[in-house]
Structure 1
Amino acid sequence: LTPGQTRELDRISMAELDIPGKRLMGNAGRRVAEKALEMTSDIHDPAIFILCGKGNNGGDGFAAAVILNEQNYQIQIHSIPDKKEIKNDSLHYYLKCEGLGIPVTFGSHIPEFKKPDLVIDGLLGTGFKGELRKDLIPYVDWINETVSKILSIDIPSGLDGNSGTLHLRAVKADATMTFGGCKTGMVFRNGPDHSGNVTVGEIGFPELDELDLPGLEWTLYSSEQSKEFFHKPAIDAHKYSSGKVLVIAGSRGMTGAAMLATFGALRCGAGLTITTAPSSLNEIYERSIIEGMTLSLEDGNSGVLSGDHFDPIMEKVDWADSVVLGPGLGRELETQELIRQLVQSINKPLILDADGLFPFSGKLEKLNAREFPLL
């Protein structure tokens, strides 16, 4: 899920399905507490330090403390917002902590506390992006410098939940307990290195396949699941029965992109490949692609493909079972126009990548007009 989809999931759950926010937060706290128990199972009488921010992540931290208190753990909570700034469902669970006598401190300085065995990071949630506030930097540094295990709630604080980018620093967690679904920022860029072991905790959200969330639908495949896409060839398989791929890629200075795309198709099991080549570069293609065929297209020594090549390319589209379009094609105007024409006309499964996406920058809705599979 993206942060925007997560917000919509929250809204649907509470506003349309009448699931109380307190219940969702309580369930989230229970999942965090369960993960904390798992991470400290080999420690006698563990000490747990919980940092709570202003948002729902802080509330989840308070809710987790209530559950952990039942185990008689040594718990210390430090809240970034003052008591009067804690609102809504977070206030409900803060007051529970107060009623149970769980120590809670406030302010801009981390209090002295015996070396914790586990730090629970509830500073920032999935809505964070950009630079950390200066007053939060010492907290993130303290968390990362501790020799304790680190558990982040929903997403490591300081990590962009959409893109996985960070500005200078973010919490580097050993584990993250997230809700609703893994966040896109956890699998892109800095996300995997900072999220640690990611668990999606069940807190009572509706099933995602029952909802119409905005934006793209994301699916995360593990290495083991990915293997299911590769099948052992039949004993009588041959090149004509193993799929034909047309690769439309490469230009002067970027012939390597065409080679890599072609080699990738062959290594995935394609029986036959044809790679388009501007005629002035065809010798390079011929020398490098020894397992596949090439289609030399007269280019007047320009080193790029253009609208003049539309018809001969479409003839090979009829031959192919699937098409790769874009890697290293360049961004010349005539090439962009060719790409637009091809995307509209190719009636086979199409993988669109790299320079193939450039003509649709800011106009991705135009890709929705395709009737055939597009990746």
Structure 2
Amino acid sequence: MQPVLNVEDIKRAEVALTRVGISVSELMHRAGYAAAQEALEMGDDVANVAILCGMGNNGGDGWVAAEALQSRGVNVKVVTPIDPDELSGDLARQMAQRAVRAGVSTLVGPSRDELEGLLSAADVVVDCMLGTGFHGEPRAPFDIWIDCVNGCGTRVLSVDVPSGLSAQTGHAPGGCVMADITVTMLALKPGLLADRGRDACGSIVVAPLAEQTERIVVDADPVAWRADLEDYLDVMVPRSNSVDKFTRGSVLVVGGSSRFIGAPVMAARAAARAGAGYVTLAVPDAIAPIIQSHVLEIPVVGLPSDSGGTISKEACKTVSELAEKSTSVLVGPGMTVTSGTTAVVSSLLSCDRPLVVDADGLNCISRLTSNALPDFPELLRRNAPLVLTPHRRELGRLVGRQDNPPDSLSEQLEEARNILWSDGGSELCVVAKGSATACVSVERAVLPKPGPASLATAGSGDVLSGIIASELAQTYGRVNGLAVLCAFACEVHGYAAALAEQRYGSRGVMATDIIDCLGLASDALAEHIEFPTDDEEPVA
């Protein structure tokens, strides 16, 4: 797994490196050399490079890269807002003066026409304007420079973070550089992986800069870990012909209402497509005949319902009995929030089966806790796995932020941990969904590879909850890392959406299309990992 550090923790890691004998100056040199090497590898014909330097240490990296590229025979020109001798930062000024003495050509405070002409003639543009400490909106001249970079049509490499993007939040209120490659130093940052960062960064290359970096970054207590395929080996169920529909686990899906008929159907079909051997769907009896006609392979149980077509309190006993016969349970899709559905969710929280709570099941928990779940830790304490799958607005309601829900990956992680720390148990995982999803447990937060934008469609969350319930059923809740299992389910979900895009286009995918591709996605991911024998290590 790849560690992800908050920006403040990156600063502390830099200080830790200086304490083991690597000076800030040496770190800047290594960062500049790493950027120069990546620039050279952006094509076979890199002969002209334009480097846009700011006035801080990010600009200092650019001056080092300029000198390194010139030593390799590349025609380099550095664009700077002020004369190198006038830079206020001592280290950046020293790097700039050294590059000028080495013969690096500069362009000071260019007009827009001059800059556009330079950028369009370059083979690669290196962006070293604004670094990881930046937040807010870029000021002149950098706002103009960013526009010029994005309009030049030349390949772009950003150093540490695309200028204008917050490396912490992934926000860019004033616009940011859209890079082809981002070379980031020491470790990944949250803002590179979510929201605008997903579009702005292009391919991300991590430059460790020192052999001590791995240890120091781990000691810095990463805010999250980015998963690689081999990390899922312990939660994947190896293929075997020695199975039947019972040994592959059974899933109970509880949800639905006269208003939302499709949500529980999609969740149940996703659980089946993801590999569960047996799926049962429990819905209000008012809609059970309609739903049964849509899921021929899945038995439908009608639950007592009220006059509004929602599950009533009288269903609690039946639901509990069905749960006891199942390997895992999913509650919430399409059920709406009433006194009856809230009672059903409360009763399932008390059962001893692995439980996934999604959609209105989460909103029922918000109602039970008056939008203050961290103040009611006893509600979530149980002896079987519990997975909550809130998107940002649902997460906001759970923690009392319904008027200002989390708007970044950083805040998703923070609020998920507020829920986890109040509970304190190892059987809870919060799958905080957004442009990047974080699967957060007490042990660690795992970031699966984000899926495509086609997941932003109604019903895709129901599909994900069905996959998670299916994975829990197939492992019988006995997993080595609940967050890793949930992250694997997210990867299957995302890959299935990518396969659906090939058939329907990036804007044409619907949730049911994702369901149809789940089996293919699971097989494709499994083929990338070779299951080891007892004395072998996994190969990815």
TM-score by structure 1 length?
0.82
Among 372, 380, 384, which residue is 1:348 paired with? 384
Q: For residue 163 of structure 1, report the CA deviation from its aligned partner.
A: 5.0
1:211 aligns to 2:211 (yes or no): no
Q: For the structure 1 residues 136 and 317, does the alpha-carbon distance in structure 2 shift closer, same or farther, using more than 3 Å as the test?
A: farther
Q: Which residue of 2 aligns with 1:360?
A: 398
1:29 aligns to 2:32 (yes or no): yes
| In 2, Cα distance between equivalents of 1:120 and 1:12 | 25
| In 1, Cα distance between equivalents of 2:171 and 2:67 | 33
| In 1, Cα distance between equivalents of 2:216 and 2:295 | 44
Q: Counterpart of 1:48 in 2: which secondary structure?
A: strand
| In 2, Cα distance between equivalents of 1:103 and 1:166 | 31
Contact 2:163 2:177 in 1 (8 A): yes
Higher deviation after alignment, 126-135 or 242-251: 126-135
Q: For residue 67 of structure 1, report the CA deviation from its aligned partner.
A: 1.6
Q: For residue 14 of structure 1, report the CA deviation from its aligned partner.
A: 0.8
Q: For the structure 1 residues 36 and 267, does the alpha-carbon distance in structure 2 shift closer, same or farther, using more than 3 Å as the test?
A: same
Q: How does 1:146-295 map to 2 (within 5 A)?
A: 146-162=152-168, 164-167=170-173, 169-204=175-210, 205-207=213-215, 210-213=218-221, 215=223, 217-221=224-228, 231=237, 233-295=239-301
Q: For residue 149 of structure 1, report the CA deviation from its aligned partner.
A: 1.4
Contact 1:2 1:161 in 2 (8 A): no
Q: Counterpart of 1:351 in 2: which secondary structure?
A: strand
Q: Which residue of 2 aligns with 1:13?
A: 14
Q: For residue 150 of structure 1, report the CA deviation from its aligned partner.
A: 0.9
Contact 1:328 1:354 in 2 (8 A): no
Given residue 278 of structure 1, which amino acid in structure 2 is its aligned partner? Answer: P
Contact 2:13 2:220 in 1 (8 A): no
Q: Counterpart of 1:77 in 2: which secondary structure?
A: strand
Higher deviation after alignment, 269-278 or 104-113: 104-113
Q: How does 1:131-150 map to 2 (within 5 A)?
A: 131-133=137-139, 135-150=141-156
% identity of equivalent residues: 27
Q: For residue 353 of structure 1, report the CA deviation from its aligned partner.
A: 1.9
Q: Counterpart of 1:241 in 2: which secondary structure?
A: coil
Q: For the structure 1 residues 41 and 317, does the alpha-carbon distance in structure 2 shift closer, same or farther, using more than 3 Å as the test?
A: same
Contact 2:53 2:127 in 1 (8 A): yes
Q: For residue 120 of structure 1, report the CA deviation from its aligned partner.
A: 0.3
Q: How does 1:72-87 map to 2 (within 5 A)?
A: 72-80=73-81, 83=84, 84-87=86-89
Q: Which residue of 1 aligns with 2:509?
A: none
Higher deviation after alignment, 157-166 or 192-201: 157-166
Higher deviation after alignment, 322-331 or 224-233: 224-233
Contact 1:317 1:346 in 2 (8 A): no
Q: For residue 291 of structure 1, report the CA deviation from its aligned partner.
A: 2.6
| In 2, Cα distance between equivalents of 1:108 and 1:338 | 67
Given residue 261 of structure 1, which amino acid in structure 2 is its aligned partner? Answer: A
| In 1, Cα distance between equivalents of 2:10 and 2:60 | 18
Q: Which residue of 2 aligns with 1:67?
A: 68
Query: Which stretches in structure 2 are left out of the alignment for 5+ residues?
Result: 350-378, 401-414, 432-540
Count residues in correspondence: 371
1:296 aligns to 2:334 (yes or no): no
Q: Counterpart of 1:240 in 2: which secondary structure?
A: coil
Q: Which residue of 1 aligns with 2:426?
A: 371
Contact 2:182 2:203 in 1 (8 A): yes
| In 2, Cα distance between equivalents of 1:308 and 1:63 | 72
Q: Which residue of 2 aligns with 1:39?
A: 42
Query: Which stretches in structure 1 are left out of the alignment for 5+ residues?
Result: none
Q: For residue 166 of structure 1, report the CA deviation from its aligned partner.
A: 3.9
Q: For residue 346 of structure 1, report the CA deviation from its aligned partner.
A: 5.4
Q: Deviations over 1:139-166 (max 9, x none)?
A: 1121122132111112222334345454
Q: Counterpart of 1:254 in 2: which secondary structure?
A: coil
TM-score by structure 2 length?
0.59
Q: For residue 87 of structure 1, report the CA deviation from its aligned partner.
A: 1.2
